[in-house]
A and B are shown apart, each in its own frame.
Chain A
């Protein structure tokens, strides 16, 4: 097991190097740079020498390979560099936003699973009945409605009916759980609904498939109670693709809530992505891409390890 984990972690090195190369060079293909945005975005008559000096200070006048080499050398020493926009360390800028993004991802996942597992199971067990039809309508609606739109509806409803808007700034859950949840529960709901629709559909289709397997028929023939057949034999096996989908969705939520974070004014990784693109803050952007890649890799590894726990036929050597 530990050897397997070690091998998988080693394999992440070339993957991350590839991601770093792609992110770095693709960002440099875009015209414009942070100095122009910072000094010319407000219409000031900034002398050309100041612009050139600032570009030189940020190393933008260096050959692109030199810039890449410096970035890589920094990463090898655990230093992601500084944001070209704020001048603060990238680890600080990401750190203050990561807690919120991870919490929204966890809350959304919890909500999604709470909704999706029972609904997906019911839908499969009562296939083609009115119960199944209703759940399918609810889940297809979840797939069709964008999270950010649902978010806007939630906010406008709160404002119209309760004259209340969620808190504007983040409070960590360990400081004040009420303030924390009153801000984050709404985006978690908006995102969790769509997320639950994906998982419900997956749960339903895999459970229907598993319920037709030989070992399920055998269990029923042996007289195992139906509840146990479903929970112990069918659901356990149906969970494998559900876990894969859940893992991928979770990793996506950490960096991918670009529009939803804007709608709810959440100071998370998605908003940082948008701000960094607008500011042409390439050092920040390339680090964010790398961070999201690391998340995907780690979540995939965790999913693979969970497979082993759920299915005794899968063993890692």
Chain B
């Protein structure tokens, strides 16, 4: 095992060393990229989906107004927007569009298409599902002074607005198509992206073909792509045999080592911290989790630092962090974390304090059930780890792993039956306005399953959201984090770590901290 870990590490180093060369290599045209996707989208509507299962096969057909720099996350660059300006008061965003952009049906993109697409997101017609409608509530109006200019006027300043415009979910649709039938994108794919829709055989695969009129001259490099729906061992086998060149979500360390062993020097490993974390949520509607002393004790008992060392070898988790991804510039530093309950390194002291709190709450030796998702990576190993941590303060915890439908049903507000659950928090970028939603009151956040909110947290969230001074925002977020850890209705465990093993023929793709980003395949080419 050590040998393959060493090989993987060497491959990682090779990949990191090769990264600057991504732009230096001369791209070759041609070839079909075959990649695996471990799930399948229910429909083709960007605005109604929220899974990588949608992004990976469908995103290459669409463009967005802005996007995250494929080689320099978190920098934001233009996609359909050639340039943009933000007014001094932060209430107006004006975008100049690329000229001569064509839809796949040959029609020309105009600012009206941008307006219609964003209107569909923020004010969906009946029957249209817009999952991220709330994120765009601050938009007051959208103006289109000419065919190449679109202006968004906001009701109030929103620091995450630019990142929101770079959301990979905000595909731009043809205004004419969605005017004729607002639900047209559910069953049809027609954007301005680098690839046109080929075929989708349900349960099997999805293909795209190069769009020759794509607005970036000379791109895309690929003739097309084929996304094969594969998961588990068959996916690892297909990667090991070279049948598929990559899977863009992520592999476990064990799968990484197996694929590297099979591919030898043809393997390239790219790794990155991941904007996803596992958190523990406590059902405060049930005793004794309504007692903050019990929740704090359970938080204190988790040795995140040692856990990250051990789990990092077997599961796709590694980084220790608070409410924001470690390494992100608004996240708590390691020094700050060391002062936070649950992150202090003296575990003997932490466990003694946890036992004391439990005794005060008359809950020494209590028993409860940890609800977990019946998904091996990374839920199962982290669940086992947590149970062991709580066992060390004398608790008896049962591990209940359920299918996703039962797992979600057990956490629903109107019928929440769980004691504690291993829950997840994941989005397409680090922006606190997205990452902190889980900690807002249940009336504001459908992701808060605990039944408990805190008006102070809601207030701090709103303050940091409107704060454009980075230092002040940083301080507000620290205050938010401290309050959330004191409330302890939801506490972070260990952050995910993204590992991508791909065939070295795949070029022009760089890992980002999110599996939702950099999937338009515009810069990807095959060295063959």
**Residues of A at under 8 Å CB distance from B?**
30-34, 36-48, 50-51, 53-54, 57, 85-88, 92-93, 96-97, 152, 155-156, 159, 163-165, 168-170, 262-265, 267, 271-272, 275, 277-280
10 A–B contacts, CB within 8 A, in A order: A42-B426, A43-B50, A45-B445, A46-B131, A86-B43, A163-B241, A168-B243, A169-B205, A267-B229, A275-B40
Which residues of chain B are near A54, meaning CB under 8 Å?
129
Residues of A within 8 A of B437 (CB): 45
Q: Is the CB of A47 within 8 A of B51?
A: no
Q: Which residues from chain B contact A39 at a C-beta distance below 8 Å?
A: 50, 129, 131
Contacts of B204 in A (CB 8 A): 96, 169-170, 267
> At the interface, yes or no: B404 with Cβ under 8 Å from chain A?
yes
Cα distance A271–B129 when bound, in Å? Answer: 28
The contact string, 1 if C-beta is below 8 Å from chain A, for chain B 402-445, is 01111011101001000000001111000000000100000001
Considering the complex, give the chain A residue whose CB is closest to the CB of B448: A45
B133 part of interface (Cβ distance < 8 Å): yes
Q: How far is the CA of A193 from the CA of B445 in the complex (A)?
A: 54
User: Inside 8 A of A159's CB, which chain B residues have their CB?
Assistant: 237, 240-241, 262
Residue B447 lies at the interface, judged by CB distance under 8 Å to chain A: yes
| 8 further interface pairs, Cβ-Cβ under 8 Å (given A165-B240, A169-B201) | A30-B405, A33-B409, A39-B131, A42-B50, A45-B134, A267-B202, A267-B203, A267-B204
A39 to chain B, nearest CB (A): 7
Contact A97 B405 (CB under 8 A): no
Specify the chain B residue showing the minimal Cβ separation from A163: B241
Q: Measured between C-beta atoms, what is the minimum distance from B210 to chain A in Å?
A: 21
Instruction: Report whether A87 and B42 are in contact in the complex, using a CB–CB cutoff of 8 Å.
Output: yes
A165-B237, A264-B234 given as contacts; is B406 within 8 A of A32 (CB)? Answer: yes
**Contact A33-B186, Cβ < 8 Å, known A86-B42, A168-B238:** no
Task: Say whether A32 contacts B203, CB under 8 Å.
Answer: no
Residue B230 at the chain A interface, CB threshold 8 Å: yes
Taking the nearest CB of chain A, how far is it from the CB of B466, in angstroms? 19
Complex contact B202–A86 (CB within 8 A): yes
B241 near A43 (CB under 8 angstroms)? no
Distance in angstroms from B168 CB to nearest chain A CB is 13
Q: Are B203 and A43 in contact (CB under 8 A)?
A: no
Please give the distance in Å from B490's CB to the nearest CB on chain A. 12
Compute how far the CA of A159 lies from the CA of B241 in the bound complex, rounded to whole angstroms. 7
Which residues on the A side are within 8 Å of B132 (C-beta)?
44
Instruction: Provide the bound-state CA to CA distance between A279 and B262, in Å.
Output: 33
Query: Which partner residue on chain A sits nearest B34 by CB separation?
Result: A168
| CB nearest to A272 among chain B residues | B203
Q: Which of A33, A43, A164 contacts B427 (CB 8 A)?
A: A43
From known contacts A54-B129, A169-B228, infer whether A37 and B50 are also in contact, taking CB-CB under 8 Å: no
How close is A189's CB to chain B, nearest CB, in angstroms? 17
Q: Which chain A residue lies CB-closest to B417?
A: A31
Known: A44-B50, A159-B262, A272-B203. A263 touches B446 (CB 8 A): no
The answer to whether the Cβ of B127 comes within 8 Å of any Cβ in the partner chain is yes
Residues of A contacting B130 in the complex (Cβ-Cβ under 8 angstroms): 50
CB closest chain-A residue, reference B235: A265
Q: Tell me if B145 is interfacial: C-beta within 8 Å of chain A.
A: no
Binary per-residue interface labels of chain B (387-413) against chain A in the complex, 1 for a CB within 8 Å, 0 otherwise: 000000000000000011110111010
Bound Cα distance from A37 to B412, whole angstroms:
12
The reply to whether the CB of B106 lies closer than 8 angstroms to some CB of chain A is no
Interchain CA distance A132-B186 in the complex, whole Å: 61
A96-B202, A278-B404 given; A31·B42 CB < 8 A? no
For B405, what are the chain A residues with a Cβ–Cβ distance below 8 Å?
A: 30-34, 36-37, 278-280
B231 to chain A, nearest CB (A): 8
Distance, CA A44 to CA B447, complexed state (A): 7
A272 to B40, CA, bound (A): 12
Q: How far is the CA of A33 from the CA of B412 in the complex (A)?
A: 11
Considering the chains assembled together, what is the distance between the CA atoms of A93 and B201 in angstroms? Answer: 10
CB pair A50–B129 under 8 Å, yes or no, is: yes
Pick from A47, A57, A267, A277: contact of B134, CB below 8 A. Answer: A47
Interface pair A155/B237, CB less than 8 Å apart: yes
Task: Provide the B181-205 mask, 1 if CB < 8 A to any CB of A, else 0.
Answer: 0000011000000000000011111
B232 at the binding interface (Cβ < 8 Å): yes
Q: Which chain A positions have C-beta within 8 A of B203?
A: 96-97, 267, 271-272, 275
Min CB distance, A52 to chain B, in Å? Answer: 11
Complex Cα–Cα for A156 and B236 (A): 11
Q: How far is the CA of A53 from the CA of B274 in the complex (A)?
A: 33
Taking CB atoms, residues of chain B closer than 8 Å to A164 are 241
Cα separation A34 to B241 with both chains bound (whole Å): 35
**B244 to A168, Cβ gap below 8 A?**
yes
Taken together as a complex, chains A and B put the C-alpha atoms of A55 and B167 apart, in Å, by 27
By a CB distance below 8 angstroms, the chain A residues around B455 are none
Contact of B127 with A57 in the complex, beta carbons under 8 Å: yes
**Once bound together, how far apart are the Cα atoms of A267 and B243, in whole Å?**
17
A31 and B230 in contact (CB under 8 A), knowing A43-B424, A168-B243, A170-B204? Answer: no
Interface centre among A50, A97, A159 (most CB of B within 10 A): A50
CB distance from A205 to the nearest CB of B (A): 37
- One of A32, A38, A48 near B42 (C-beta < 8 A): A38
With a cutoff of 8 Å between Cβ atoms, the chain B residues found around residue A38 in the complex are 42
**Least CB separation from A37: chain B residue:** B405
Which residues of the other chain, A, contact B410 by a CB distance below 8 angstroms? 31
CB distance from A92 to the nearest CB of B (A): 8
With CB as the reference atom, state the residue of chain A lying closest to B434: A45
A171 to chain B, nearest CB (A): 11
Nearest 9 Cβ contacts at the A-B interface = A32-B409, A32-B405, A31-B409, A265-B234, A165-B241, A44-B50, A267-B203, A280-B405, A42-B50
